[in-house]
Structure 1
């Protein structure tokens, strides 16, 4: 926690309150680029790769400091708890007295979990994500140029074919 600066903690406090970069920037009176930069540096210091992970790690740090002995007081508030509640069967006539009920299993952290809702694919996150995003933008720009050039060429061909006079017809005298 000491590795984070006061300004990074100020941004992370608002991040765990589910604020966007623009909302944080407005509230602190800074640029949203500065907010993103502070989040990026905090991600590096906390050893995580995504915005959601930095929020979870920061919440865990705050909870650990509040308890005084490094244990979290419960699930991070940034994401929903992953506990599946299984209703216990009705005990008719003492049939279920033999074995205690098994504790419910936590839900898998795969697709559909709250931490998995991302805007961009994982390919564009983490190390090299910026290069991949720039590469995708370059590919899309080249494709757009080809589409525009193709449309201009089709327009030129159509206008030439419509502008040429029909061939002279042979007239009989």
Structure 2
């Protein structure tokens, strides 16, 4: 009895191997009870191409019609279309690392660069200190914006004064 089942499985394996990837793609959609037109739209090929692939697969499988081909293909697919080894590397699930700080945020910078200036938040190590940091209150932010606006106005007025002085020099 083992010989008969072994030759049967070899014959089935030969049938499976004779089916091309394109025929299998059509048969997979046929298993979903799609029409040739729907299969053609999904695979972006012509309807006669779908019909030809299904007819060829039907002849390979020895099926009498499309439904019989789908049944035979489904049986073979369950046996021979199994993934034995998935080569895709799945990274480990990220996990939280406990913080050594009470609030989870260091109060002092952790490192210093070659000149000894602290490394970390934007603006640290600059002459203006922590002006660019994000931990200021509303009043401090408003004061910073006002100081920047005053500096822009002074710059523009100075430029206008220089332009007026140059105009007087040129005109005489």
TM value normalised by structure 2: 0.38
Of structures 1 and 2, the one scoring higher in RCO (CA 8 A, sep 6+) is 1
- Higher helix content, 1 or 2: 2
